[in-house]
Amino acid sequence: MSYSIGILGTSGFTGKECLRLLGMHPEFEVTCQQSLREEPGEGLGYAGALHEDKSNGLDLSQLDGLDAVLVCGPHERSATLVPQLLKVVPKVVDLSAAYRLADTSLYPRFYGFDHPRPDLLADRVFGLTEWARDDLKEARLVANPGCYVTSVLLPIKALLESGCVAEGSDLIADCKSGVSGAGKSLGPSTHFSSVHEDFRAYAVGSHRHEPEIREQLGTDRLYFTPHLLPVFRGILSTLHVKPAPGLTVSDLREALEARYAEEAFVEILPEGLPCLSQVQGSNLCRIGLVGHGDRVVLVSCLDNLVKGAAGQALQNLNVMFGIPETLGLQQASLAPRGWR
């Protein structure tokens, strides 16, 4: 059986990645792609060799009959667009942050707008796939998690759930992202001449992903510091936790191995630490642990455009339609000289 999928926002990095992955999926067919830019069809020149830009300007009438829509637009635009989409399509996966936060008071501070539909926030599913399967099966609206957020939540949620973290202790998330995490719009800090041969921290104490992580973990003791790497793809998060009394790094590794033993896209390393080149282009999150004094340091790596965005969206779609979760994703790795 083939399902008809629409993608809104095909001119940006995440939209292009959705096109790449859906193009390899045996049961999903992209039958509608629309740009959310003011100039329809304006795409990414270097991606043109892989994806012919067939997008049109936004026209909701073209969405009638689709089985699902992926929204890859700006946050505030998506916040107003999603309610319109739910009137014409049965399932929506929003890759923006418009529906990630349940607390409406956080939107003005971190995103600069009042949320237009608080009622939908109560019904949406936060789509961290490995933790949301039961809810995804009946979901109409899925809020795809942020890329930094996914890299932090996958290890830390499992450790908190298993009681492996000392009660009341701080959680330190020292995270690095490739420049594609900032989106397509050019800014002074993401221009090639700014990132080349440089490395910097940014938005310390004010980054939009910190409240998302804290809300999902249920703690304000998570301290998140993002950094910009001079690479295009990838997230590498270094996480510092204090184990519960009597526990060692081996105990924490065993807890993670037990939680993710059956997961296709989360790999706990028996030794050593992961690096970006091991995950780029794939839907895999690799996690390694080492002891450091009375702390355990975890390194969590994923591709921000795949497991941190389009790949997780496709993984969620698979669950929503009741088809094998790995379909279209096991062969997701970039071909040589694929778009970067």
Identify which of 58, 211, 69, 48 has the alpha carbon closest to the alpha carbon of residue 140. Answer: 69
Q: Please tell me which residue in 18, 32, 72, 147 is annotated as part of the active site.
A: 147
C-beta separation of 58 from 34 below 8 A: yes
147 an active-site residue? yes
Element (H, E) at 194: helix 192-195
Return the structure tokens found at 181. Answer: 């995490």
E strand residue ranges, 3-63? 3-8, 28-35, 56-57
Rounded CA gap, 330 and 339, in Å?
18
Q: What is the DSSP-derived secondary structure letter of residue 334?
A: P
Q: In what order do the strands lie in the sheet with 56-57?
A: 56-57, 28-35, 3-8, 68-71, 92-94, 141-143, 125-126
Angle at 154 between CA 148 and CA 159, to 5 degrees: 125
Catalytic residues: 147
